[in-house]
Amino acid sequence: MSAGREDGVAGWFSFLAAFWRLAGPWWRSRERWSAVTLTAALVLLTALQVGVAIALNIWNLRFFDAVEQKALDRFLTLIGVFAVIVVANVVITTSHLSIKRRIQVDWRRWLTRQVTQEWMGGGRHHTLTYAPGRHDNPDGRIAEDVRIATEYAIDIGHSALYSTMLLASFIDILWQVSGVLTVDLRGRAVGIPGHMVWIALIYSAAGAWIALRLGLPLTRAANRRQAAEADFRFGMAHARAHSLSIALMRGEPDERRRFLRLFHGAFRAWNGQTAALRRFFYYMASWPLLNQIFPILIAAPRYISGGITLGVLMQSAQAFGQVVAALSWPIDNLAKAAEWRASCERVEGLASALRSLRAEPGTPGRLDVVPAGDCLELRGVVLRSPDGLALSDPIDLAVQPGERVMIDGDSTACGRLFRATAGLWPWGGGRILLPAGGAVQFMPEHPYLGPGRLRDVIAYPDPAQGYGPLRLARALESAGLARLADRIDDVAQWDQVFSLADRQRLGFARAFLRRPTWAVLHDAATALEPEDEQELVARLVQEMPELALVILGHRPHVSALVDRTVLLRPAPSTSAA
């Protein structure tokens, strides 16, 4: 399922198959009994809706016959019958609405959970930013496109089922009330049974063909608009996330210009969709009006000639209208189907990209990262860019428990190796074996600080309840942040409160708090003075003598604290560039 697929019948079948592979497993999940029960109830209520339409058609026949015959007793009785039909319709329609919305929200919840687990699992939310392909704005795809994909699927599916049942029911009624139309062909009388059925088929086919020709560009226009709107939202959110840096650089004018460029893209996409809709609605504006009068025009000559009663005329007109309405389902749902397909393709594009990042061990062109043994080992590790460009020469290395090693060399390759060791850079070759018995703490240049209480930020991602105030205070003191010990219950947006240096010290405080047996650092103290960085690393070694430490990057002022230094060489093509 992709935006580039053809819009013909084959393209739609291919799209539906891909959508079912993505979202259909809900009916086979742990929620399958609820899903199947609700779906069966929806089908039953849809059949009852068709039953109401049939009852109303029969009522039309008898009511207008009573009016034509001036039969007051039947007239009054049929008013009572109409009241019963109305009450039944209200009960069925409201029940149908409740069931339909329950299916929509349950299906959306399940699919949101599935995609979110893929996105927020194994660091794929980070790796995805480097992966090739169109999977931008994953948050918008999950929050909005999943909603449209599931809600519209139920709406379109229900209307298709209702139209099919309606067609099957009323085509028989229309055939019966049409009778036989006699046509004189060169002096020979030819009878056409069910002539109104044939007229309805031809009428609907002609309308559908015109509408489809006018409406096919809606899919591409809807997709372009949604992508442009998502880019605009993401640009605003990105600026909000980096508001401090923008304010310090006085970059607001440039950001405003960027917002306007993004909005102009959304504006152009809106106008493109408007143009596609305008062409489509030229036809749609006349079609409903013609539907109201056309069936009466077709049946009226038989009534005027005395061939049918007024009741049969009204019944024929209504049956004709129901058949045409059922056959017009593609026309009525084309715009919605276009928007639905565009959202489904965006969700599937994200899901496909995430699946590609979750490759099995041994996949060609992928680094294998597995927990095995009692040391951290690199076996023939070659780092590559997502497009296959080599970033480093092969590296072999084994770090034993309690050993301290520095990997010096090319800054880009060191950064990629840090991500690869954490399982966040799958592009390359070889194997990375992590120690199976001990957790590895990865310490980046920019530690994540979420909003909330400071004690929760320090303990992240562990629950703060597992660490007492005294232990938290000792960790802060070891990291050079003793002044914060009295603020552990304060609530703030800490990534905006602290400087980068303090954020990096908080990253060290987490290590002092959790006391891991393995730690991998990459530019974890670059914002500190060299002597402060040396003091922090020395304190790690002193307080956790069993700690195995891997320092990635050129950090000469801490080289005296490591047992050995290994050089990570860039690939020849990379260094030449």
- Per residue in 71-89, pLDDT (tens digit) is 888 888 989 999 999 999 9
Q: Between 573 and 40, name the one with better pLDDT.
A: 40
438 confidence band (pLDDT: 50, 70, 90): low
The CATH code of the domain that includes 269 is 1.20.1560.10
What is the per-residue pLDDT for 219?
Answer: 67
**How many domains are there within the chain?**
2
Average pLDDT value for residue range 172-195: 70
Q: Which of 141, 158, 65 is nearest to 104 (CA)?
A: 158
Q: Which residues contact 78 (CB under 8 A, 6 or more apart)?
A: 59, 62, 63, 66
Q: Measured on CA atoms in the order 35, 46, 289, 194, is the torsion positive or negative?
A: positive
The 8-class DSSP code of residue 143 comes to I
Angstrom distances, CA of residue 341 to CA of 59, 104, 250, 571: 40, 16, 42, 44
Residue type, 61: L
What is the per-residue pLDDT for 411?
Answer: 81
Looking at 6-20, 24-38, 541-555, which range is the least confident one? 6-20
Average pLDDT value for residue range 545-560: 90
What is the per-residue pLDDT for 398?
Answer: 92
577 confidence band (pLDDT: 50, 70, 90): very low
Q: For the whole prediction, is pTM greater than 0.95?
A: no
What is the per-residue pLDDT for 3?
Answer: 43
Same domain for 447 and 470, yes or no, is yes
Average pLDDT value for residue range 396-423: 90
Question: Which ranges of 179-309 would DSSP assign to H, the alpha helix?
Answer: 195-215, 217-241, 243-248, 252-284, 287-304
Indicate whether 2 belongs to any domain: no
Same domain for 483 and 571, yes or no, is yes
Same domain for 353 and 396, yes or no, is no
- Residues 51, 52, 53, 56: what is their CA dihedral angle, to the nearest 10 degrees? 120
Residue reference for tokens 């918008």: 140
Same domain for 347 and 495, yes or no, is no
Q: Are 385 and 568 in contact (CB under 8 A)?
A: no
Q: Between 37 and 133, name the one with better pLDDT.
A: 37
What is the per-residue pLDDT for 63?
Answer: 87
Is pLDDT at 6 greater than 60 in this prediction?
Answer: no
Indicate whether 347 belongs to any domain: yes
Same domain for 326 and 380, yes or no, is no
Indicate whether 470 belongs to any domain: yes
Distance CA 436, CA 440 (A): 10
Same domain for 353 and 415, yes or no, is no
What is the per-residue pLDDT for 573?
Answer: 60
What is the per-residue pLDDT for 324?
Answer: 83
Domain that holds residue 205: 9-357
Q: Measured on CA atoms in the order 39, 40, 45, 47, is the torsion positive or negative?
A: positive
Q: Among the three residues 303, 338, 357, which one is the final residue of a domain in this structure? A: 357
Is pLDDT at 96 greater than 90 in this prediction?
Answer: yes
356 confidence band (pLDDT: 50, 70, 90): confident
What is the per-residue pLDDT for 576?
Answer: 39
503 confidence band (pLDDT: 50, 70, 90): very high
Structure tokens at 347: 């969700």
362 confidence band (pLDDT: 50, 70, 90): low
Q: Among the three residues 357, 387, 417, which one is the final residue of a domain in this structure? A: 357
Q: Give the rounded percent of residues in the chain with a pLDDT score beyond 90.
A: 36
Is pLDDT at 2 greater than 60 in this prediction?
Answer: no
Which run of H or of E encompasses 184? strand 180-185
What is the per-residue pLDDT for 224?
Answer: 83
Indicate whether 3 belongs to any domain: no
Is pLDDT at 213 greater than 80 in this prediction?
Answer: no
Same domain for 66 and 116, yes or no, is yes
Residue reference for tokens 């059922």: 326
Same domain for 292 and 388, yes or no, is no
Indicate whether 446 belongs to any domain: yes
Q: Between 315 and 51, name the one with better pLDDT.
A: 51
Average pLDDT value for residue range 504-528: 93
What is the per-residue pLDDT for 129?
Answer: 83
Q: Between 220 and 411, name the one with better pLDDT.
A: 411
The CATH code of the domain that includes 518 is 3.40.50.300
Q: Are 404 and 521 in contact (CB under 8 A)?
A: no
Q: Among the three residues 331, 357, 383, which one is the final residue of a domain in this structure? A: 357
What is the per-residue pLDDT for 14?
Answer: 83
Same domain for 39 and 105, yes or no, is yes
Distance CA 333, CA 164 (A): 14
What is the per-residue pLDDT for 176?
Answer: 80
482-501 pLDDT, tens digit each = 999 999 999 998 888 899 99
What is the per-residue pLDDT for 387?
Answer: 83
Same domain for 353 and 408, yes or no, is no
Mean of pLDDT over the chain: 85
Looking at 183-187, 229-233, 252-256, 552-556, which range is the least confident one? 183-187
Is pLDDT at 132 greater than 70 in this prediction?
Answer: yes
What is the per-residue pLDDT for 191?
Answer: 63
